[in-house]
Amino acid sequence: MTRAGMTNLISRLRRMVNDANAEVWTDDQLQDTLDEWRFDILGERLQEYPQVEKIDSATETHYHEFYSRWGNLEEATSESAYWRLYDSYGESIGTANYIADYIRGRIRFLADQKGSPRYLDARSYDLARAAAMLWRERAGNVAEKYNVDLDGHRLSRAQWFDHCMKMAARFEAESGPLQATLMRFDVEVTG
């Protein structure tokens, strides 16, 4: 079942793979593909950007803008298992207190946070890598197509395969670096 916070990501991915009318993939299939290219963010301290205001001869600093290093975030409507914004005591901050730009990973608080740190648990998705994977899947579905010459008329069905592969290469070039966790099994850990 498609999570509520994935709706906008799925819609953007559909446009990237030329499936705006949902004729090729279901929402669940696209969500599964996105989940393959997901990065879980746990306890990221958000970067605050103070705004300094000069009123007469005094200056005031306000803390409304906070930024994550990540973008393409699953939205808060998917529940707290997938999106959680909280303070340094671990207390969750409700969505009524801020406006989130999930695409760019920016959060604007409605009230001044007075320099207090804010933390995020969320999920970020590599849409470009997911699009590349889907274009390769499309290419695989038309790989057996061939060109036909009949009575001076040429039908070039293989062009669709070439187009799919070019789109896959384009999105792969746009995607971020792959991340992995390395584990050693040749060392015995004691204690």
Domain that holds residue 81: 39-125
> Residues with Cβ < 8 Å from 60, sequence gap 6 or more?
52, 53
C-beta atoms surrounding 127 within 10 Å: 25
The answer to whether residue 80 is domain-embedded is: yes
Question: Within this chain, do residues 110 and 136 fall inside the same structural domain, yes or no?
Answer: no
Question: Within this chain, do residues 47 and 111 fall inside the same structural domain, yes or no?
Answer: yes
**Is 82 in a helix, a strand, or coil?**
coil
The answer to whether residue 158 is domain-embedded is: yes
Q: Pick from 119, 113, 117: which is nearest to 61 by CA?
A: 113
Question: Within this chain, do residues 119 and 163 fall inside the same structural domain, yes or no?
Answer: no
The answer to whether residue 150 is domain-embedded is: yes
Question: Within this chain, do residues 96 and 169 fall inside the same structural domain, yes or no?
Answer: no
If one counts the domains in the chain, the total is 2
Q: Tell me what pLDDT residue 144 has.
A: 74
Question: Within this chain, do residues 120 and 54 fall inside the same structural domain, yes or no?
Answer: yes
Q: Tell me what pLDDT residue 159 has.
A: 85
Q: Where do the H-state alpha helices sit in the chain? A: 7-16, 27-36, 127-141, 158-174
The answer to whether residue 25 is domain-embedded is: no
Question: Within this chain, do residues 103 and 156 fall inside the same structural domain, yes or no?
Answer: no
Residue numbers of the chain with a pLDDT score lower than 50: none
Q: Tell me what pLDDT residue 146 has.
A: 67
Question: Within this chain, do residues 75 and 141 fall inside the same structural domain, yes or no?
Answer: no
The answer to whether residue 18 is domain-embedded is: no
Q: Tell me what pLDDT residue 35 has.
A: 97
Question: Within this chain, do residues 79 and 119 fall inside the same structural domain, yes or no?
Answer: yes
Question: Within this chain, do residues 56 and 106 fall inside the same structural domain, yes or no?
Answer: yes
C-beta atoms surrounding 111 within 10 Å: 10
Q: Which residues pair with 28 in a beta bridge?
A: none
Q: Tell me what pLDDT residue 180 has.
A: 62
Q: How many CA atoms lie within 13 A of 111 on its CB side?
A: 8
Spatial distance between the Cα atoms of 118 and 84, rounded to a whole number of angstroms = 10
The answer to whether residue 23 is domain-embedded is: no
pTM, full prediction: 0.82
The answer to whether residue 24 is domain-embedded is: no
The answer to whether residue 28 is domain-embedded is: no
Question: Within this chain, do residues 170 and 148 fall inside the same structural domain, yes or no?
Answer: yes
What confidence tens digit (pLDDT) does each residue in 64-92 have? 999 999 999 999 998 778 899 999 999 99
Question: Within this chain, do residues 54 and 95 fall inside the same structural domain, yes or no?
Answer: yes
What confidence tens digit (pLDDT) does each residue in 92-107 have? 999 999 999 999 999 9
